[in-house]
């Protein structure tokens, strides 16, 4: 294609984009110019739908409400929309929001599980299916993806996160945005994404939800803000502020975050919504005197839409008249909101098609959910190659999670039907009818402390060739406001595992949970361990496909598993400190009685639990073995902007085909601030047949090495760098390169 033609195409493209933007802005400005102050403030007001009422209808008709959340009946949604569009003075459509976090009807693994797949493609597909199902019933906007970096398994909402690493969360968060929104919000199956909770919510002190965070500027920029920046650049339409105060400033009143970072630096042009009543919660924070001051602080800080607490509707008219909040602030907020409604096509197509066939639970969607559950499962142990199991053997299926259709869906599931869940027991009955098994739940639910049926479980194991024990957490034990100080297997599940193992039979432990649990003391009683972060609708079929070897586990840990809850926070990309502990750090029993004060252990570790986790970030086994060799760099040094190619050979030296998540880690050895001992900079799922080897290639530039340093500018700093390539964050294959001035 000749240059002239390409130039014409490029110019045409720019004109089209500008024309579209101008048309959009012109339409918005024209509408804005016709709106009264009350109608503008109405757009900034979101209510929770709590059933139809004359009061609600009246307020919509008066233009006092711009959005509703939790309307899921398309007929009712259309009725309310009709009032807004055909009976209000200006006919501005409502935008209807819902928490569609990891599926609407077809439920995918919880986001922490999807993160274990290290697969942006399947994560995008899951969001695409969720959007299609949700939009079909008139939902225009989801409050996802949640991009809070989570380093604390005590926090219930780690379940909803994409784990501890900012690079992984950035890649997968952008994939979710794309899946929800497609390339254009005008797509009739698109829903607006909402990146949350802006920002730092996952760093709550003590892992307690809603708690204060103390994230200093370097850490804020280099860890907590990164996934949000990536998602905004991927086109996320909306942002939700977080409940926490950071260093004393609640996010809903944080002008620096909402204006300087989000608008001025990142050029975000969508709208910002509060999290539930986070605006008026600034009173409890001690940051606002009353609702009126909370409304003043939040609107001036750049928070465009208030979820449910009603302070904007009540006080903004007065605040504007008193000059405490300018017309400009109001107009900007309303412009952001109208822009997303416009892009969603709500002015042209405000109604759900209630006659269309259901988009839910399509065969292809269920198949994708099963594949996501397969790729999200992590094989943590497989002694003596117990797995995969022989289908011809007799299996004892034991435990409270073996047939728990509600629990396996995980947290943040409002619209699915548990009857559609295929549990491990249901999957055995429908997919593997030839398998001989005995089922003894032994416990009614994960917290059950009644051991009276343990003897039945024991008997079932004794009469079988192998016992598969399904343990874990009910879904309600993780999620919002469900934090735990003790993250052992809850109740008497560990006792049940020991009881089954005492029969001497081989034991497979299958865990379904919303967080990493402290399972070190359980490991001796299981020959194999398959870990599933609540796997969703198709968890049962996925687990048996893995246990019987129809699929080979490929999941990798998106979060560190600690040995003891007292080690938290413990994560792979930590700073080295001035006294890093040696691998064999002094332990409690090494210390002589009456040891001198300067006893052993003058390094950063625990005398009782050392410095290492139980399982590191990025860890996960396979039924085969992958061997890494021949790590090569395209050059020993690069300059600013110059690409560096990193190659390594990965060989499948086992006798079954498998997929490995090849991971690339980099360490900036010396910086203007202390830098992490290593950071994930790339990953790739590589499928290898038995005996096959491939050269896996990554490319880095100085931009990938950039960080926010002492001078508070994001840039790469010259110096030496270490590079590792391997199957987890302890990868040994290492080399170095230099970034030169």
Report if residue 229 touches ligand GLC, rule: CB under 6 A: no
- Give, as ranges, the residues between 136 and 175 that touch ligand GLC (CB under 6 A): 143
Report the relative pairing of strands 734-740 and 719-726 from DSSP bridges.
Answer: antiparallel
Report the relative pairing of strands 306-307 and 378-382 from DSSP bridges.
Answer: unpaired
Per-residue string for binding with ligand GLC, 378-397, x by CB under 6 A? --------------------
Closest among 629, 523, 606, 619 to 572, alpha carbons compared:
619
DSSP helix/strand/coil, 35: coil
Total of residues contacting ligand GLC (CB under 6 A): 6
Q: Identify which of residues 480 and 640 has a Cβ nearer to ligand GLC in the complex.
A: 480
Burial of 217 (0-12, 13-18, 19+ CB in 10 A): exposed
Rounded Cα–Cα distance for residues 141 and 104 (Å): 12
CB 482 to ligand GLC: min, Å: 12
Q: Identify which of residues 47 and 680 has a Cβ nearer to ligand GLC in the complex.
A: 47
CB 91 to ligand GLC: min, Å: 27
Packing angle between helix 363-376 and helix 539-547, nearest 10 degrees? Answer: 50
Closest among 363, 391, 470 to 423, alpha carbons compared:
470
Q: Identify which of residues 273 and 320 has a Cβ nearer to ligand GLC in the complex.
A: 273
Rounded Cα–Cα distance for residues 25 and 28 (Å): 5
CB 253 to ligand GLC: min, Å: 17
Report if residue 196 touches ligand GLC, rule: CB under 6 A: yes
Per-residue string for binding with ligand GLC, 444-483, x by CB under 6 A? ------------------------------------x---
Residue with the shortest CB distance to ligand GLC: 143
CB 100 to ligand GLC: min, Å: 10
Is the CB of residue 660 less than 8 Å from the CB of residue 688?
A: yes
Report if residue 128 touches ligand GLC, rule: CB under 6 A: no
Q: What is the 3-state secondary structure (H, E, C) of 489-554?
A: CCCCHHHHHHHHHCCCCCEEEEEEECCCCCCHHHHHHCCEEEEEECCCCCHHHHHHHHHCCCCCCC
Candidate residues 275, 371, 403, 545; the one interacting with ligand GLC per rule CB under 6 A: 275
Helix (H) or strand (E) holding 230: helix 226-233
CB 226 to ligand GLC: min, Å: 20
Per-residue string for binding with ligand GLC, 94-123, x by CB under 6 A? -----x------------------------
Closest among 419, 550, 410, 545 to 480, alpha carbons compared:
410
CB 13 to ligand GLC: min, Å: 36
Place of tokens 């990309």: 573
- Give, as ranges, the residues between 70 and 99 that touch ligand GLC (CB under 6 A): 99
Phi then psi for residue 585, to 5 deg, are -80, 155
Q: Residues near 439 by Cβ (< 8 Å), separated by ≥ 6? A: 397, 398, 402, 403, 425, 460
Is the CB of residue 393 less than 8 Å from the CB of residue 465?
A: yes
Is the CB of residue 562 less than 8 Å from the CB of residue 153?
A: yes
Q: Identify which of residues 97 and 399 has a Cβ nearer to ligand GLC in the complex.
A: 97
Q: Identify which of residues 85 and 277 has a Cβ nearer to ligand GLC in the complex.
A: 277
CB 99 to ligand GLC: min, Å: 5
Q: Identify which of residues 69 and 490 has a Cβ nearer to ligand GLC in the complex.
A: 69
Is the CB of residue 520 less than 8 Å from the CB of residue 563?
A: yes
* Strand order from edge to edge, sheet including 693-700: 626-633, 644-652, 693-700
Let me know if 448 is a catalytic residue.
no
Q: Identify which of residues 239 and 389 has a Cβ nearer to ligand GLC in the complex.
A: 239
Q: Identify which of residues 196 and 482 has a Cβ nearer to ligand GLC in the complex.
A: 196
Closest among 117, 126, 223, 292 to 676, alpha carbons compared:
223
Candidate residues 180, 198, 271, 276; the one interacting with ligand GLC per rule CB under 6 A: 276
CB 144 to ligand GLC: min, Å: 8
* Strand order from edge to edge, sheet including 271-273: 194-198, 238-241, 271-273
Rounded Cα–Cα distance for residues 542 and 428 (Å): 11
CB 143 to ligand GLC: min, Å: 3
N-to-C CA span, the chain? 39
Reading the block at residue 398, the tokens are 């034991």
Per-residue string for binding with ligand GLC, 554-593, x by CB under 6 A? ----------------------------------------
CB 68 to ligand GLC: min, Å: 12
Q: Identify which of residues 281 and 522 has a Cβ nearer to ligand GLC in the complex.
A: 281
Q: Exactly one of 148, 275, 448, 545 is catalytic; which is it? A: 275
The CB density around residue 285, as the number of other CB atoms within 10 Å, is: 18
Q: Identify which of residues 112 and 646 has a Cβ nearer to ligand GLC in the complex.
A: 112
Catalytic residues: 275
Binding site for ligand GLC (CB under 6 A): 99, 143, 196, 275-276, 480
């Amino acid at each position: 294609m000749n240059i002239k033609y390409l130039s014409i195409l490029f110019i045409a493209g720019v004109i089209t984009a500008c024309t579209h933007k101008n048309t959009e802005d012109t339409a918005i400005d024209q509408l804005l110019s016709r709106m009264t102050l009350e109608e503008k403030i109405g757009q900034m007001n979101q209510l929770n739908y709590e059933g139809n009422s004359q009061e609600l209808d009246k307020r919509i008709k008066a233009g006092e409400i711009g959005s509703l959340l939790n309307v899921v009946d398309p007929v009712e949604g259309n009725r309310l929309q009709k009032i807004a569009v055909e009976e209000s003075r200006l006919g501005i459509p409502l935008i209807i929001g819902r928490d569609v976090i990891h599926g609407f009807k077809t439920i995918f693994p919880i986001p922490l599980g999807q993160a274990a797949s290290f697969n942006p493609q399947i994560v995008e597909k899951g969001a695409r299916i969720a959007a299609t199902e949700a939009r079909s019933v008139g939902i225009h906007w989801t409050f996802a993806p949640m991009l809070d970096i989570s380093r604390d398994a005590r926090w219930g909402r780690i379940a909803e996160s994409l784990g501890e690493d900012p690079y992984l969360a950035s890649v997968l968060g952008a994939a979710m945005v794309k899946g929800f929104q497609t390339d254009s919000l005008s797509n009739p199956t698109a829903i607006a994404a909402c990146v949350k909770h802006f920002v730092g919510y996952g760093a709550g002190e003590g892992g307690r939800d809603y708690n204060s965070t103390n994230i200093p500027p370097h850490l804020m920029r280099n860890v907590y803000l990164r996934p949000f920046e990536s998602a905004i650049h991927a086109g996320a339409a909306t942002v939700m502020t977080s409940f926490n105060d950071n260093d004393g400033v609640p996010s809903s009143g944080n002008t620096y975050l909402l204006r300087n970072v989000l608008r001025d630096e990142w050029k975000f042009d969508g709208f910002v919504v509060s999290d539930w009543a986070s605006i008026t919660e600034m009173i409890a924070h001690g940051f606002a005197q009353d609702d009126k001051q909370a409304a003043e602080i939040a609107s001036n800080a750049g928070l465009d839409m208030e979820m449910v607490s009603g302070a904007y509707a009540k006080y903004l008219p007065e605040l504007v008249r008193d000059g405490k909040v300018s017309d400009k602030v109001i107009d900007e907020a309303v412009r952001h909101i109208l822009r997303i409604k416009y892009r969603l096509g709500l002015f042209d197509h405000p109604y759900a098609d209630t006659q269309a066939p259901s988009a839910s639970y399509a065969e292809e969607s269920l198949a994708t959910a099963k594949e996501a559950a397969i790729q999200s499962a992590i094989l943590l142990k497989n002694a003596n190659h117990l797995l995969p199991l022989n289908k011809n053997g007799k299996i004892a299926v034991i435990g409270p999670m073996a047939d728990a259709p509600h629990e396996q869906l995980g947290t943040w599931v409002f619209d699915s039907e548990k009857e559609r869940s295929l549990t491990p027991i249901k999957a055995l009955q429908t997919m593997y009818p030839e398998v001989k098994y005995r089922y003894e739940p032994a416990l009614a639910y994960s917290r059950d402390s009644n051991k009276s049926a343990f003897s039945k479980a024991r008997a079932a194991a004794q009469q079988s060739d192998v016992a598969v024990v399904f343990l874990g957490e009910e879904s309600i034990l993780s999620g919002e406001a469900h934090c735990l100080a003790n993250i052992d297997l809850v109740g008497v599940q560990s006792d049940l595992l020991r009881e089954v193992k005492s029969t001497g039979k081989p034991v497979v432990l299958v865990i379904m949970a919303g967080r990493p649990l402290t399972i070190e003391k359980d490991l001796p009683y299981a020959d194999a361990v398959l870990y599933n972060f609540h796997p969703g609708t198709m968890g049962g079929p996925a687990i048996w496909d893995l246990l019987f070897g129809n699929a080979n586990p490929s999941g990798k840990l998106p979060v560190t598993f600690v040995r003891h809850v007292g080690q938290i926070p413990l994560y792979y990309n930590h700073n080295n400190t001035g006294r890093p502990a040696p691998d064999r750090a002094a332990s409690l029993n090494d210390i002589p009685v009456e040891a001198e004060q300067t006893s052993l252990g003058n390094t950063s570790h625990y005398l009782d639990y050392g410095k290492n986790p139980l399982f590191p970030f990025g860890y996960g086994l396979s039924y085969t073995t992958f061997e890494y060799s021949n790590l090569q760099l395209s050059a020993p040094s690069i300059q600013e902007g110059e690409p560096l190619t990193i190659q390594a050979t990965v060989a499948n030296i086992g006798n079954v085909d498998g997929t490995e998540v090849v991971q690339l880690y980099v360490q900036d050895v010396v910086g203007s601030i202390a830098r992490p001992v290593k950071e994930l900079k790339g990953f790739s799922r590589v499928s290898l047949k038995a005996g096959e080897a491939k050269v896996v290639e990554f490319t880095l530039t100085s931009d990938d090495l950039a960080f926010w340093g002492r001078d508070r500018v994001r840039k790469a700093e010259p110096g030496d760098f270490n590079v590792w390539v391997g199957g987890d964050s302890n990868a040994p294959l290492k080399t170095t390169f230099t970034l030169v001035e």
